[in-house]
């Protein structure tokens, strides 16, 4: 009986090992998909040169995976689980769960290229909002969730530093209008709804300048 129990324990240990190995993301396996599917919009290494498309190099794997799931979601899911984008929906339609995890791990492991801001005045204004918020209108400091250097918090809040101004601004406006609703607890929708166009633009410009 003891021998049988030991054998069963060994089998469970081996099967668990196989399961863990199978579920472990493989960044190398995603390289072909990244080159064939993602590169045109995001760059082969995730450093998009198209200002309307986000840089995803160095982004937290958990955040990338969530966005891929949200792009693939149907209208039967909760609003916070859906991100409407016809182009991305078409891109992820053929991806398996394993593909998504591998891509998330691959782009997360890439080195993000520095961003570039062009308006110094807006950068200074955006810096004040990002670091200190706007007390009069109840806007919290962006740094409280996305960290002072824009690195974000894995599994909770995305990396922002160096992101294209145009992309960040578009997303902030989408949150404000409710067009994008896949934020946790409506946090970004609530914050953006209290901000003016100029304030949103200033924050986006400062984020682009962050190293």
* The predicted structure's pLDDT at residue 1: 56
CATH number at residue 128: 1.10.760.10
* The predicted structure's pLDDT at residue 16: 38
Give the number of other CB atoms < 10 A from CB of residue 23. 10
pLDDT along the chain (211 residues), means of 10: 49 38 79 95 97 98 96 78 94 95 98 96 98 98 98 94 98 97 94 98 98 89
Strand partners, 152: none
Alpha helical stretches, state H, the chain: 2-23, 31-33, 39-42, 61-72, 86-92, 97-108, 120-132, 143-146, 165-177, 187-193, 197-209
State the total domains in the chain: 2
- Considering the domain architecture, whether residues 161 and 137 belong to the same structural domain is answered as yes
* The predicted structure's pLDDT at residue 79: 79
* The predicted structure's pLDDT at residue 27: 87
- Considering the entire predicted model, what is its pTM? 0.87
* The predicted structure's pLDDT at residue 75: 64
- Considering the domain architecture, whether residues 145 and 92 belong to the same structural domain is answered as no
The domain boundary, picked from 108, 141, 164, lies at: 108
* The predicted structure's pLDDT at residue 160: 98
- Residue 192 sits in which domain range? 120-209
């Amino acid at each position: 009986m003891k021998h049988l129990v030991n054998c069963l324990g060994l089998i469970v240990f081996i099967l668990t090992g196989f399961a863990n190995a199978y579920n472990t993301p493989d960044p190398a396996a995603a390289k072909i998909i990244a080159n064939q599917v993602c590169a045109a919009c995001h760059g082969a290494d995730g450093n998009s040169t198209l200002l309307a498309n986000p840089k995803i190099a160095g982004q937290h794997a958990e955040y990338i995976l969530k966005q891929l799931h949200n792009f693939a979601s149907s209208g039967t899911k909760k609003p916070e689980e859906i991100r409407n984008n016809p182009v991305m929906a078409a891109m992820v339609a053929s991806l398996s769960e394993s593909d998504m995890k591998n891509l998330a791990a691959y782009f997360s492991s890439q080195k993000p290229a520095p961003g570039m801001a062009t308006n110094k005045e807006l950068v200074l204004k955006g810096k004040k909002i990002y670091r200190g918020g706007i007390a009069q209108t109840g806007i919290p400091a962006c740094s409280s969730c996305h960290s002072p250097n824009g690195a974000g918090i894995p599994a909770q809040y995305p990396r922002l530093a160096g992101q294209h101004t145009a992309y960040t601004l578009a997303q902030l406006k989408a949150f404000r209008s409710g067009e994008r609703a896949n934020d946790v607890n409506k946090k970004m929708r609530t914050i953006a709804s209290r901000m003016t166009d100029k304030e949103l633009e200033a924050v986006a410009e400062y984020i682009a300048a962050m190293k």
